[in-house]
Structure 1
Amino acid sequence: MKDLGELQHMAIIMDGNGRWATLRNLPRALGHRAGAEAVRRCIKAAFHHGIPWLTLYAFSSENWKRSEEEVIALTGLLQYYVRHELANLHKEGVKIHIIGDISRFGVSLQHELLTAQKLTQHNQNLNLVLALSYGGRDELVQATRNIGKEIEAGLIKSEDISESLFRRYLFTASMPDPDLIVRTSGECRLSNFLLWQSAYAEFVFLDVLWPDFNEHNFEQALKIFSRRERRFGRRPEVRA
């Protein structure tokens, strides 16, 4: 595998918890619980391979449309995970970032998420970004709305709008764009994830359900990425 120095940010769409449970005749909640174990393995693999930024699509804005029972199971598991893993993540030097509209969660979960960010804000070993109640289209709408408010207030002019200015209004304003986006379960779509930020990302789609994801699959994605020629819109060089 070639040097992965250019891989600064890896993002993962964790898909397949429900199907994993269905295949085993188990409740979907148990699939999500097994998925939480895969998160632990994934973070460990990111440490092992020295990936500076890891973003996990943990709860999409569309997840609110699922059954009340499943939403309760998802949010309950999220709260349990944050509560019981925070001390270890902090000890390992993980800095937690949250992107998305967490105001839709209960007050208790919101508090724990904000506490996790504050506690780990000075850590430097791994930037772990949790996309929670996140939707790419909603992020773009919110950014546009906030820019509009500043234009109305006379703080900026419409002609000031550029890519760099627009970026400052995104949830990910202080983060590098993802170099690699991985989706598990064999599905080949973004599902409203990091729509702006993924403009020049490489995509890898793995035929493994998220609860079965392990370090071998992590390395598989890295190997595929290492064989890609990243052009960022440029034409390939013509060699004599």
Structure 2
Amino acid sequence: MPEDAADSAAGRTRLGPRHVAIIMDGNGRWATQRGRPRLFGHHAGAQRVREIVESCPDYGVEYLTVFAFSTENWKRTQAEVAGLMNLFRGYIRREARALLANDVRVRFIGDRVRLDAKLTGLMDELEAMTAGCAGTNLTVALNYGGRDEVARATKRLAEDVGRGRLRPEDVDEETLPRYLDTCVLPDPDLVIRTSGEARISNFLLWQSAYSEYEFVDTLWPDFTREEFRRLLESYGRRDRRFGGVPAQGAAAR
């Protein structure tokens, strides 16, 4: 459903998707190709996040969700994990004022139990600081896994059934999303994965049931706002039928 007309209030263009989710892959390979440690690539990737976030208002993207650290990433070396946690803490401290100035509302999804108290404290502070922002909605998936999210949501739902707050017969596919980490977000229209891998890696499993996907070869630190725009424009040319038939006059598929 392309929407190429400029937004009359902001003078900006909606290229297609309202909500874009990105699996930011390839930081380590990018660094290795340059003979540098993997954490060098992660720092470069963090800088790329800022550029893409800042481009969202220009392209009409209201919601951006980025996959920063998965529940499976704990399998990496202790040094890399520690470095990533330090990077997340530094990113929040460094970017907080810029995010606020750019009217970006930040949310975090994922299981915070395993994260250290200093990091979760900074996450809480950033969410509170930007709660009144009305521009881009940036969601950061940190210690996040789709299966883990569904399992946690199901547990909370079961607890409500057990306490009599919810009847078993009232549970349907509209009920579970209210218990997910993303309960206040629309489902992603477009999911992008960088680095040439063609898998979803346990990301937004429930929410992306009808998302469009783009798998690109570009490593995340090399992913530019120009390539982002090209993918948004490509999305705008797609015919999204959600299981239905083509619109009258459209070519049969």
Q: TM-score range by the shorter chain?
A: over 0.9
Give the paired residue count.
240
Separation of aligned partners in 2, 1:205 and 1:18: 18
CA contact (8 A) 2:15 2:236 kept: no
- 1:205 equivalent in alignment to 2:242: no
**Aligned counterpart, 2:191:** 181
Comparing 215-224 and 92-101, the one that deviates more = 215-224
Gapped runs of 5+ residues in structure 1? none
Alignment partner of 1:224: what SS? helix
CA contact (8 A) 1:204 1:224 kept: no
Amino acid at match of 2:151: V
**Aligned counterpart, 1:223:** 233
Separation of aligned partners in 1, 2:16 and 2:184: 18
RMSD: 1.4
Query: Runs (4+) of structure 1 moved beyond 4 Å?
Result: none
1:54-203 pair list within 5 angstroms: 54-203=64-213
Separation of aligned partners in 2, 1:186 and 1:235: 31
| 1:2 CA drift (Å) | 5.2
Gapped runs of 5+ residues in structure 2? 5-13
Amino acid at match of 2:40: L
| TM-score, with structure 2 as normaliser | 0.91
Separation of aligned partners in 2, 1:49 and 1:236: 27
Separation of aligned partners in 1, 2:75 and 2:160: 32
CA contact (8 A) 2:3 2:16 kept: no
Determine what percentage of the aligned residue pairs are the same residue.
45
Higher share of residues assigned helix: 1
**Aligned counterpart, 2:7:** none
Amino acid at match of 1:199: A
Amino acid at match of 1:49: Y
| TM-score, with structure 1 as normaliser | 0.96
Separation of aligned partners in 1, 2:140 and 2:91: 12
Mark the CA change 1:81 to 1:223 in structure 2 (over 3 Å): closer, same or farther: same
